[in-house]
Structure 1
Amino acid sequence: MLFEPQYRHDNKAARVAMTLFRLTQAIKKMTQSESDQAGLSPAQIQGLLFIYHTRSDVASVGNFADMIGSSHVTAVKIINGLMEKEFVQKDKHPSDKRITLLQLTEKGFVMARRLQDWGSSLEEVMSQMSDEVLDHLELGLGSVASTLQKNGHLVVSEPCLGCMHFQPNIGDGNEPHYCNLIKKYLAHEATLKECPEHTPKLRGE
């Protein structure tokens, strides 16, 4: 029914949903153009940036699959393609051999650094809007993302700050922070990386 014009005319949720669908098509076109310039697919670039920005102990194949909304098999194929280009290497998780962790090679690290501006064409479009419009968009799209996340359709990775599991400055030395979820002390640099298990604090906490 979403693609039926008359149905959308009488249904606000359907109109918004169609707008979001059309936006995803436009974003796909824009990122594909940027990816072609790098000689990689959008999924491969997402893989490199996922490993680059994610805390090393949670940069797994499974979490990558969740992040891009794909099956585990598809994620493995993407990573294997990056391994063939000598951008990525795999290692077993030290405490759970069932989990495969991903690391950038030196060559992959250089490429990931080069890709930090990937997606800039979309940012340039957004920068043409007024602050007032962006404020409304941020609020509305935040609600969409939150609902999708609650329904299991979206994984939102963020750094430790603001997570209900994060306890800052309770340790000593090189690992001053603590994560209640994984029961582990963390270096400050590690807490600045993204984590797919990030759970925002409730207001007032």
Structure 2
Amino acid sequence: MRKLSAFNPECQAESVSSKALVALERVSQAFRVMLWNEGKLYGLSPIQIQLLTFLLHFPEEKRTVTFLAGFFNMTKATISDAVKALESKSYLTRKVVATDSRSSSLHLTREGKAIARKVEKFADPLHNIIDQLPGKEQGLLLEQLQQVIQQLSSEQILSVQSMCLNCVHYFKKKGHYCNAFKTSLTNAELRFECELFESGF
């Protein structure tokens, strides 16, 4: 007998995993809606908003088209088009990398930083909802989401994400443990974008 699709309500009634999958789909829809709504206010596409937000917070060595393509799981051509659009709006400039004249790092202009600080608030409604959960539930949610993301990375659906569960320093030892910091971690202490991250893949 053919397995019912997770998107079939009959299947959802009998399967917790199917209901969880649909819940994640609804959250991804919320992200798209929030990005599009913010974009309409400022004449920006969703990826342009995400690039502005990234460039506002990440160090120069990660602000290249190649890194951004991997980070956002998009082609270099798609990222390049978004970068050109932001350049045309005078929101960013390029600077040749000293060690590689073929590569450029991306830098927000004053206007770019100002618009980035505005549009990065696009996800505040969802952030506020999560923030209202009890601390223990927030930590459990974080752990479970990292487990899902780790599996997506291992199956090469997502690029390897810089987070504890993908790190060579991480291992399970009656809970979470970091060899780099030589300490146990609670669920709430699991990190994304740790400065000591080294891929375990």
TM-score (norm 2): 0.70
> Does structure 1 residue 35 correspond to structure 2 residue 39?
yes
| CA gap 1:157/1:107 in 2 versus in 1, 3 angstroms | farther
Aligned-partner SS, 1:99: strand
Unaligned runs of 5+ in 2: 170-192
Task: Give the corresponding residue for 1:62.
Answer: 66
Task: Give the corresponding residue for 1:120.
Answer: 124
Amino acid at match of 2:38: E
Amino acid at match of 2:65: V
Distance in 1 (CA, whole Å) between partners of 2:40 and 2:132 is 25
Q: 1:49 aligns with which of 37, 46, 53?
A: 53
Distance in 2 (CA, whole Å) between partners of 1:47 and 1:28 is 15
What percentage of aligned pairs have identical amino acids? 24
TM-superposition CA deviations, 1:45-103 (whole Å, max 9, x none): 11111112111022111111222221111111111110110111123322223433211
Task: Give the corresponding residue for 2:184.
Answer: none
RMSD: 2.9
Task: Give the corresponding residue for 1:174.
Answer: none
Task: Give the corresponding residue for 1:156.
Answer: 161
Q: 1:88 aligns with which of 89, 92, 95?
A: 92
Task: Give the corresponding residue for 2:26.
Answer: 22
Distance in 1 (CA, whole Å) between partners of 2:120 and 2:19 is 34
> Does structure 1 residue 107 correspond to structure 2 residue 111?
yes
How many positions carry a matched residue from both structures? Answer: 169
Distance in 2 (CA, whole Å) between partners of 1:155 and 1:97 is 27
| Distance apart, 1:33 and its partner CA | 2.0
Distance in 2 (CA, whole Å) between partners of 1:131 and 1:46 is 27
TM-score (norm 1): 0.69
Distance in 2 (CA, whole Å) between partners of 1:86 and 1:199 is 35
TM-superposition CA deviations, 1:136-176 (whole Å, max 9, x none): 21221121122223333145357xxx986xxxxxxxxxxxx
Distance in 2 (CA, whole Å) between partners of 1:155 and 1:82 is 27
TM-superposition CA deviations, 1:29-53 (whole Å, max 9, x none): 1232233333322211111111121
Amino acid at match of 1:156: Q
TM-superposition CA deviations, 1:89-122 (whole Å, max 9, x none): 1233222234332111222122223334332111
Structure holding more helix per residue? 2
| Distance apart, 1:195 and its partner CA | 7.9
**Higher-RCO chain (CA-CA 8 Å, sequence separation at least 6):** 1
Amino acid at match of 1:107: E
Amino acid at match of 1:17: L
Are the aligned partners of 2:39 and 2:46 in contact in 1 as well (CA < 8 Å)?
Answer: yes
Task: Give the corresponding residue for 1:188.
Answer: none
Task: Give the corresponding residue for 1:146.
Answer: 150
